[in-house]
Amino acid sequence: MRIDAIEEALQLRPFVPFRLILPSDRTVAVPHPEFVSISPNRKQVLVWNKRGGWSLIEPALVVELAFNGAKKQ
């Protein structure tokens, strides 16, 4: 997935929580834009969870974005 699609989802107003879907069907929830940091070279996305854990993801590995059951590719 292009990093632009993730950035667009983060900038929606009002914000709509979404999930990053990875090829292994693993999902990473994005409950709020403040839980996400995009690296300066735009090749990695860091997503924090509500318990303080985090996931480091390469945008190229994201298969789709899921908004409350609806998917955006």
Q: Which domains does the chain have, with CATH numbers?
A: 3-72 (2.30.30)
Cut 0.85: pTM above it: yes
**Taking a C-beta distance cutoff of 8 angstroms, is the pair 57, 45 a contact?**
yes
pLDDT bin (cut points 50, 70, 90) of residue 72 is: low
In angstroms, rounded to a whole number, what is the distance separating the alpha carbons of residues 20 and 26? 8
Q: Token pair of 42, please?
A: 């735009």
Q: What is the pLDDT of residues 8-63, one digit of tens each?
A: 999 999 999 999 999 998 999 999 999 999 999 999 999 999 999 999 999 999 99
